[in-house]
Amino acid sequence: MKTKFLLIMLFVFTALLTACGGGNSGSATADDVIKIVWYPNESGNDLKSSRDEIGRLITEATGKEVEHQLTTDYSIAIETLVNNNADLAFMGSQGYVEANNRNDAVQTLAVKSGESGTLDDAKYYSWLAVNVDEQDKFKENGEFFLDTIADTRFSFVSNSSTSGFKVPSSSIIEHFSQQEAYADLTEEDLMGSGPLFSQVLFGNSHQGSAVNLLTGNADVAAFCDTCVEEYVELAEGEENTVGAVYRVKENAAEPFNSVTGKEFALMSSDPVLNEPFVVNMDVIGQADFDKIQELLTSDEVANNEKIFAPEDSEQSALFSKSDKERLLQVEDEWYDPIREISK
């Protein structure tokens, strides 16, 4: 009788282990799944085909299921990766530096090259923009002048965004701290109404920050060129230069569909290191890291129009391609310039 009872208890205990993922039955365990967490900028329906294609290719390369974790906040994506709840992420350089500082198992995997196909021009641009019909308010003697943003309603992306916060805030502090009234200006001061701005908004994505400007909720907004390029077109001037005017396309998808035809002008444009794909080595392991890095940096991915849409294509994709753009291996040290402005 005792033996029979023990056998029953052993069966129940084994069943419980299997139900909790401790067995090797047909259900997937954590090790069988590659989890990719995406920033809000890349979590929209417009980039679903790119996400799905990357997932499909990773499954082919590793033999493992891919799960996409979409977010509405930068900090959620960073926390997910840092706390070992994701294997892989595509994030801004500032987000990577933050994540690496908190967990050194977070490492770079690959980064998009420039048009040359190298790291030499692997950059995008951080913009400060104003509505076209209000641009004269931000000029002195016909030139844009940073002093004019004082006491305005300002929109950032997220305080973890490189081009939507770190780069512009660094420039703003450098400029205003030379004036006695703002000598002690800090990043924290720029996160809310106070010494410099009358109101501060966070768009939680580059698209959201741009829409804050175009709907009239903000007077000045920070966002980057690559995150809005599929929604806007150059209307006047030279791309990524001060004074250039961009117009929202008539067929722009959400969230720009409510502001089609609206125009904004660039009052500043600063180059930023391209965003990396990164991994948590404690979760993904070296074998899968090697397989995924080889995949992402392959010609197959570089020539995949679901991931790199041709410049003249109407298809939305994670990246655009005008020449030799591709993904390249990148080392942690490449992001040291971002660490410098984050100190």
pLDDT in tens, 77-108: 999 999 999 999 999 999 999 999 999 999 99
pLDDT at 5 over 50: no
Check whether 73 has a pLDDT greater than 70: yes
Those residues whose C-beta lies under 8 Å from the C-beta of residue 103, and which sit 6 or more positions away, are: 81, 82, 83, 84, 280, 282
Q: What is the pLDDT of residues 139-149, one digit of tens each?
A: 999 999 999 99
Give the H or E element holding residue 55: helix 48-62
pTM: 0.79
What pLDDT, on a 0 to 100 scale, did the predictor assign at position 340?
A: 85
Bridge partners of 220, per DSSP, are 130, 154
Q: Read out DSSP for 200-227?
A: EEE-SSHHHHHHHHHTTS-SEEEEESTT
On the question of pLDDT at 9 being above 50, the answer is no
pLDDT at 299 over 50: yes
Q: What is the pLDDT of residues 305-325, one digit of tens each?
A: 999 999 888 888 999 999 999
pLDDT band at 343 (very low <50, low <70, confident <90, very high): low
State the average pLDDT for the chain: 90
Query: Residue 29: pLDDT above 60?
Result: no
Instruction: Give every strand in the sheet of 65-70, ordered side by side.
Output: 65-70, 33-38, 88-90, 276-280, 106-112, 327-328
- From CA 94, how far away is CA 103, in angstroms rounded? 14
Q: How far apart are CA 91 and CA 260, in angstroms?
A: 28
Residue 174: per-residue pLDDT: 94
More confident residue, 278 or 313: 278
